[in-house]
Amino acid sequence: METAAFSASYARIASFSSPLAPSMCPPAALPPSPRAPSFRLRPISASANITSATGVATSACAATSARSQQHMNGSRRLTPADVTEAAALDDGATGHVSDADRRQQTVAAIAASGIVACVRADSADVALSAARAALAAGIEVLEVTCTTPGVFEVIASLVKEFPKATIGAGTVLTPHDAMAAQRAGARFLMSPATDPELVASHAKGPTVFIPGAMTPTEILSATRLGAPLVKLFPAPYAGGEALVRAMHRAAPSIGIVPAHGIQLGLIEGYLKAGATAVVLSEAIFEKEAIKRQDYERIAQRAAEAVAVRRNVLLSQTH
């Protein structure tokens, strides 16, 4: 009875979800938690993932890259439609996508999502189950912190299960972690600080490195090293929404991603101030929910965050 009630309740929350459906079972090394929601797997047609005309794929790639570049220079804000095209291009013509295009697609995905869900846990199993719940509820961009045991196995599993999502690694502090995360399939790497060597080494690769900064000078320095986005950390102590607004007015080409202690009620303010996206950690993955392995609660919070972002988009179009 308890299991049936849980499944029914979770199904109601999952109705808010995006089409990020799992496509592959996790490896045996990371079995799903017995309390985690289960998902029905759908076969993916090979023909749906292959672009038949290289010329069309190349043209689409150029168009997507141009729109991403417009976002990066502040002349245009990306929309979910841009990311849909980028995802289709990524699925259908991966072999023809340059490192620069790959980076721009990732930046486009983060900008269109507006939310980067950040999960950290004391075990790989809990982190994997929590991430699954958030992604199934509509989250499209998610990072797993490198402080989580088995983080790279968790990332690899999520990349396989949710191919339409943009999965990354958080709290990346060393070249080893950066390399391991990339091998696991991470599309972006986020750090609380700016390591010049790490930023520069990823400036021309396929993976987006998002360094942390606290002041306008640090933010500008990070972008000059090649960072397409900069994490404002810790945002509340760095000036919060006011700093984001001031930086956006002075340098709209710089993409800022505030992080640390951001609750659902602050999403709208940060995005309207000019933030490219916001990092949500405990706002979605509440400590008590993680401790109790309450994945239904995590899914609910994720769906609420997505709804807030959707309302912001609607208000900007009117």
Over range 117-142, report the average pLDDT: 99
Which is the CATH superfamily of the domain at 2-34+114-317?
A: Aldolase class I (3.20.20.70)
Backbone angles phi, psi at 45, to 5 degrees: -70, 130
Radius of gyration of the chain (CA): 19
- State yes or no: pLDDT of 299 exceeds 50: yes
- Which range is least confidently modeled, 84-93, 116-125, 181-190? 84-93
CA distance 87 to 109: 8
27 exposed, middle or buried (CB, 10 Å; 0-12, 13-18, 19+)? exposed
- Confidence class for position 316, pLDDT limits 50, 70, 90: confident
Would you place residue 95 in the very low, low, confident or very high pLDDT band (cuts 50, 70, 90)? Answer: low
Q: What is the pLDDT of residues 226-257, one digit of tens each?
A: 999 999 999 999 999 999 999 999 999 999 99
pTM of the model: 0.73
94-98, 145-149, 190-194: lowest mean pLDDT where? 94-98
The pLDDT of 258-279, averaged and rounded, is: 98
Residue ranges covered by each domain of the chain: 2-34+114-317
Q: Where are the beta strands (DSSP E) in 138-292?
A: 141-145, 166-170, 188-190, 208-210, 212-213, 229-232, 255-258, 278-280
Only one residue has tokens 């390591």, namely: 195
169 or 71: which carries more pLDDT confidence? 169
Length of the chain: 318
